[in-house]
Amino acid sequence: MKQGIHPEYHQVVFQDSSTGFKFISGSTATSEETVEWEDGNTYPLIRVEISSDSHPFYTGKQKFTQADGAVDRFNKKYGLSQD
């Protein structure tokens, strides 16, 4: 690996802004904000809008904005009915 061209890789804490869930991971991201982790060490804190704790795919709380399928939408648009 060539020296001096890669960003520093270190442990950081990511916090989900919507749920408060925190997890530690390796990253090149940095932050002025820090937090003390469960192991007693202080790590940079990166706030994220969504994580596995709040994402609908992982929580199972998916919102379906469109219940009908493509065929139903086509039929509604062009006036075809199944009655």
In-domain check, residue 69: no
Q: Residue 7: inside a domain, yes or no?
A: yes
Provide the domain limits for residue 1.
1-59
Q: What share of the chain is helix, strand, coil (3-state, %, to 5)?
A: 15, 30, 60
Query: What is the total count of domains within the chain?
Result: 1
Per-residue pLDDT at 67 exceeds 70:
no
3-state secondary structure of 79: coil
- Prediction pTM value: 0.64
Inside any domain, residue 22: yes
Residue 25 lies in a domain: yes
pLDDT, residue 68, reads 63
* pLDDT tens-digit series, residues 13-64: 999 988 889 999 999 999 999 999 999 999 999 998 888 787 766 666 655 5
Q: How far apart are CA 27 and CA 60, in angstroms?
A: 28
Model pLDDT, residue 11: 96
